[in-house]
Structure 1
Amino acid sequence: MTDLTIEKEDRVGRHGRYVARIQGIDAEGEITFTHRGPKTISADHTGVPDDMAGHGVARALLDFMLADARESAFRIIPICPYVRKQYARHPEWADLFTTAPGEDPY
């Protein structure tokens, strides 16, 4: 989808989010995260408003987060039910996930 943009927003402290916007829709989808230790974040919540439903926003956000994890060499604790469910379906992502806060796998 060419009018979908995603960016990472780090907030002050340990929290941040990956945020998706679609041109012409006054809403934002997001995956919120928390820095849990060196090279580890937790994916806490995925939210996509009804106005953005059916556009593949949740999966695009997850794909963006996975690409960021590969590029920046961090691992993800899948707390969010959506992220956990997708991870269970994709064992090939195992190198990007962990269940140990603070684990430094690199």
Structure 2
Amino acid sequence: MKYVEEANRFVVFEDSGQEIGEITWSNAGETMIIIDHTYVDDAHRGRGIAEKLVALGVDYARKNNKKVMPLCPFAKKEFDQKKEYQDVLK
């Protein structure tokens, strides 16, 4: 699998090149992003892909000195469960 950063999203591709998941965000001013969508194709769920996508979003926020508002239900659950994400939580 390959994870790629694109404009306002990270996308994951199978080795065949097929897109199988993504996390998207919108910018809310200069200091905050809103994670609004996390998706993984049904055939690939349960493999930790969505968790990795949220982790990439958190790393992006840290590297860019931004806070995160997790509006996506999956991302919100990840933020609620992982104390190590609290430094970027808005």
State whether TM-score is above 0.5. Answer: yes
What are the within-5 Å matches in structure 2 for residues 12-51 of structure 1?
16-24=8-16, 26-51=18-43
Could you tell me whether the CA contact under 8 Å between 1:41 and 1:74 is conserved in 2? yes
Q: Distance in 2 between matches of 1:93 and 1:56?
A: 17
In structure 1, which of residues 56, 67, 70 is the aligned counterpart of residue 59 of structure 2?
67
Larger helix share, 1 or 2: 2
Amino acid at match of 2:63: E
In the superposition, the TM-score normalised over structure 2's length comes to: 0.88
CA–CA distance in structure 1, aligned partners of residues 17 and 48 of structure 2: 14
Cα distance in 2 for partners of 1:9, 1:25 equals: 15
Equivalent residue number for residue 103 of structure 1: none
CA RMSD of aligned residues (A): 1.5
Higher Cα Rg, which structure:
1
Runs of 5+ unmatched residues, structure 2: none
Using the TM superposition, give the Cα deviation of residue 8 of structure 1 relative to its aligned residue in structure 2, in angstroms.
1.7
3-state secondary structure, aligned to 1:55: coil
Pairwise CA distance, 1:27: 3.2
How far apart, CA to CA, are the structure 2 residues paired with 1:26 and 1:5? 10
Alignment size in residue pairs: 90
Over 4 Å off, 4+ runs: none
Q: Alpha-carbon deviation of 1:26?
A: 2.6
Q: Deviations for 1:73-96, whole angstroms, at most 9, x for unmatched residues? A: 111111000011111111232111
Shift of 1:25: 6.4
Q: TM-score, normalization: structure 1?
A: 0.76
Counterpart residue type for residue 65 of structure 1: G
